[in-house]
Amino acid sequence: MLFLWYPKCTTCQRAKKFLDERGVSCAQRNIKEENPTVEELRTWWRVSGLPLKKFFNTSGMQYRALELKDKLPSMSEEEQLALLASDGMLVKRPILAGDDFVRVGFRQGEWEEKL
């Protein structure tokens, strides 16, 4: 499994604590220092079954600064994936990606269900 997080994010800290308390070992990656690639994002999006918009950090400063609320509806999926891959801070976090599942954002019940 891969755990993508931003260490300064309190939700990410809670998710990491949740994983640590359960002894879950997974590769960890700082989403700000090492952006997800377009291919990773495409794979996670398809595996998750979520709308692509759910991968955007809609409460982030970058999202607001770029006025993405108004721009996303007219962008193609490939343009959205490229934009997400360009800046890890645009991506909703944390992400927990396994072979057959992806969880975006931390909701303890959903994570427990998969672990």
pLDDT at 73: 94
Quick check: 89 pLDDT over 90? Answer: yes
Residue with tokens 């976090």: 93
Cβ partners under 8 Å of residue 69, min gap 6: 58, 63
Contact 74, 114 (CB under 8 A): no
pTM to 2 decimals? Answer: 0.90
The answer to whether 105 and 58 are in contact (CB under 8 A) is no
**pLDDT tens digits along 10-62:** 999 999 999 999 999 999 999 999 999 999 999 999 999 999 999 999 999 99
DSSP letter at 91? B
The CATH code that applies to domain 2-114 is 3.40.30.10
